[in-house]
Amino acid sequence: MEKVLLHCCCAPCSAPIIEWMLNNDIVPTLFYFNPNIYPAEEYLIRKEECIKYALSQGVSFVDGDYDHEYWLTKVAGLEDQPERGSRCFQCFKIRLEATALLASEMGFAKITTTLAGSRWKSFAQIVEAGNWAASRVDGIQFWEKDWKKGGLTERRKVLLQENGFYNQQYCGCEFSIRK
């Protein structure tokens, strides 16, 4: 069985990916690292749902630190950028670099992210950020899988209903809820 460190953003995006991996002899370990999410209550709701779903599937879960102030310093000057702009790209780099570093510490060779299944995000930016992050850590490969394809978007809808997941209507940061 192949093992992969899966950066996760929320249960609705994670569920079909976890299911697909398990059905394809891939064992994911979830890494919840999302210092971008605002407010803290939103962060906790999303995290608790990820933990609950991971446990229900027998999947390991690693909780990353929530340091929203640090994240704000890393995206300073990009606050007015549109969704799918340079702020999002910087945010992906922050989260995927942390994922690559943890993967190295834990003995994983491959990382990927549920962000690549999100309707809110640019797959090209995610791939670029993932490859950038992997290139910074020896022995780490970024798995460039578009998790919106192969029926997974439709499966996401089914799992959302079956599990009664909270379904947020914005990506997570305060700059994405302006409109």
- pLDDT tens profile 90-133: 999 999 999 999 999 999 999 999 999 988 799 999 999 999 99
The residues, ordered by sequence, that sit 6+ positions from 24 with a Cβ below 8 Å of its Cβ are none
Domains: count for the chain: 1
For the domain that residue 132 is a member of, what is the CATH number?
3.40.50.620
What pLDDT score was predicted for residue 119? 80
Phi, psi angle pair for 85, to nearest 5°: -100, -160
Predicted confidence (pLDDT) per residue in 127-144, tens digit: 999 999 999 999 999 999
What pLDDT score was predicted for residue 96? 98
pTM greater than 0.85 (yes/no): yes
Query: Which residues partner with 45 through β-bridges?
Result: none
Question: Domain of 82?
Answer: 2-176
Predicted confidence (pLDDT) per residue in 4-48, tens digit: 999 999 999 999 999 999 999 999 999 999 999 999 999 999 999
